Chain A
Amino acid sequence: MTDLSTATPVATAKKPAQKKMKTSVFFSWSSTFKHAVLILGALIMLYPVLWMVVSSLRPNDAIFGDPTLVLRTFKVDNYVNGWNALTQPFGHYLINSVIVVIGCIVGNLVACSLAAYAFSRLNFRGKRWWFGIMLVTIMIPIHVIIVPQYIMFSKIGWVNTFLPLIVPKLLATDAFFVFLMVQFIRGIPRELDEAARIDGAGHFRIFTQIILPLMVPALGTTTVFTFIWTWNDFFSQLIYLTKPENYTSSLALRSFVDAQSATDWGAVFAMSVISLVPVFLVFLFGQRFLLKGIATTGGK
């Protein structure tokens, strides 16, 4: 299908113009075909999402029965209706989501980086066992933890607060990020720590003044993933937040759908689009960190 010399791994991705002259006509035909397939595939993948965005700007009676992406009228009524459809304006739920997300990001950044420093730079008794336990906790299904955790948090009166969602992150329970940061710190030359130690710096200073500034990319990856996962989270929010005024955008959206029973889909779509916008933005600006994180850890 293609010239054999281009059948190489991504090494050539940055300079795709490298082709052998004699096969260039044949190559460009197959390349066009490939692009056609890729673009068609991309369209099919994104079509439902694009359709939702377009439909959120259509009047309700024009949503069903129009599978196209052509917008004949441009109406923001759905956004106004959706924003005010629940007991609180939708912004209230977005703010709740933002509070939870910020708490989780801060928690993960602080607690996971501390633990990662210990696992990658310190020598201590039983290190490999603790490290092994940490790796295993990455794979524990939440279900096997959630019942006792719920009982505990309900006994101390934390149900219907954001604390059960945020406090565990302050305790480095997102072990995936500990692992990610350990991987990253291992790549930082040890000579830097040793030079600082000779100058009399203790571990805390080495951590804050040498390691932390150098691991910004790993912190970026953690921030972006924590944002997206927390923003999309539903299961733990559903369990811990039962009062409507505490709802996050995920919960609000879900209660909106169930309350509407297929009447005001335009408004539902409008709020769905709004709830996806932060994820799109973070993806757009944080893509670099996402891809780097996946490349260094094998992703999650």
Chain B
Amino acid sequence: MSVVSELRDLKNAGKSRGDGKAAFWFLLPWFIGLFAVTAGPMLVSLGLSFTKYNLLQAPQFNGLENFKRMLGDERLLHSLGVTFLYVIVSVPLQLAFALALAVLLDRGVKGLSFYRSVYYLPSLIGGSVAIAVLWRVVFGADGIFNQFLGIFGIHGQGWISSPNTAIWTLIALNVWTFGAPMVIFLAGLRQIPVSLYEAASMDGAGKWRQFRSVTLPMLSPIIFFNLVLQIIHSFQSFTQAFVVSGGTGGPADSTLLFSLYLYQRGFRNFDMGYASALAWLLVLIIGAFTAVNFWASKYWVFYDD
């Protein structure tokens, strides 16, 4: 059961009480963490978003000033554009690859565990500095990507150093890590009863028809789950853009993902009030995307239970 379906079932759970004392001690670290490290700071951050604060002087309340400032902040608007492009292109591509490979690997392929490992590995290392460094070289002007293009007579440019293409190298990197959703798809495919395929083939359904009429609907809750999580995850991408651009978001702000801009505001300029407001903007954006996803899900997600 996934987090998403768990939240769905929550409202049906019954009331319960009884082991209060023991529960208190077992949950004590978690309670402290919730108040001091997660939910508490979250509320403080909401308060700070209405202030001007540079760490040295006490926070000064300035009302909606930070939010008004956003409207005229061209770097912010640009950064949002870059981030939307990044998320909207890379997540569907990533899931499409994940699904295609999962379906290919699902049908009793010899060496399944070998292939699964190989395709899964990039998603474990894709977020590391080492791979971001590698990307910087692979897509550089004299990188191996251009040398491969050279074989076909194409003279490539410096993909990282050109503002038109730099973000696409980051998109490629995100797509490269399709192994994690692929493994989730593989686990989901196992749950589909064999009898459904047998019935479909008895009715004369071909491969493609079976995929469309059995696999896709049966897998739709998991596709939905992956979609929600990957969107949330991708909106927060930071390391790759930071390393590839040397922390600047360049060239010409073309890789200035939202997280990177927030980092620059908060931890380079120590503009903590504005950074908090930006963080809440991110929460709102992610929340809106998730809400739209949940709303849209009733038109395409098929729940068996």
Q: Which residues of A contact B (CB under 8 A)?
A: 1-2, 4, 6-13, 15-16, 18, 31, 34-35, 37-38, 41-42, 45-46, 48-49, 51-52, 64-65, 67, 110-111, 114-115, 117-119, 122-125, 127-128, 130-152, 154, 167-168, 170-173, 178-179, 183, 202-204, 207, 228, 231-232, 234-235, 238-239, 250-251, 253-254, 257-258, 265, 268-269, 272-273, 275-276, 279, 283, 287, 290-291, 294-295, 297-300
Contact = CB atoms under 8 A, between A and B. Distances in A.
A7 B109 contact: no
B115 A134 contact: no
Contacts of B17: 123-125, 127
Nearest to B147: A67
A281 to B, nearest CB: 12
A140 B41 CA distance: 12
Interface of B: 1-4, 6-7, 10, 13, 15-20, 22-24, 26-27, 29-30, 32-34, 36-42, 44-45, 48, 55, 101, 104-112, 115-122, 124-125, 127-131, 133-138, 142-144, 147-148, 176, 180-181, 183-184, 186-187, 189-192, 194, 197-198, 201, 207, 210, 222, 225, 229, 232, 235-236, 238-239, 242-243, 246-247, 259, 262-263, 266-267, 272, 275-276, 278-280, 282-283, 286, 290
A236 to B, nearest CB: 10
Nearest to A164: B37
Nearest to B183: A294
The A contact surface, by secondary structure, is: helix
Contacts of A275: 128-130
Contacts of B143: 64
B129 A144 contact: no
A171 B207 contact: no
Nearest to B40: A148
A171 B45 contact: no
5 contacts: A142-B236, A143-B279, A148-B276, A171-B37, A178-B30
A149 B275 CA distance: 13
A124 B18 contact: yes
B23 A41 contact: no
A172 B7 CA distance: 20
A265 B45 CA distance: 41
B10 A128 contact: yes
Contacts of A297: 1-3
A294 B128 contact: no
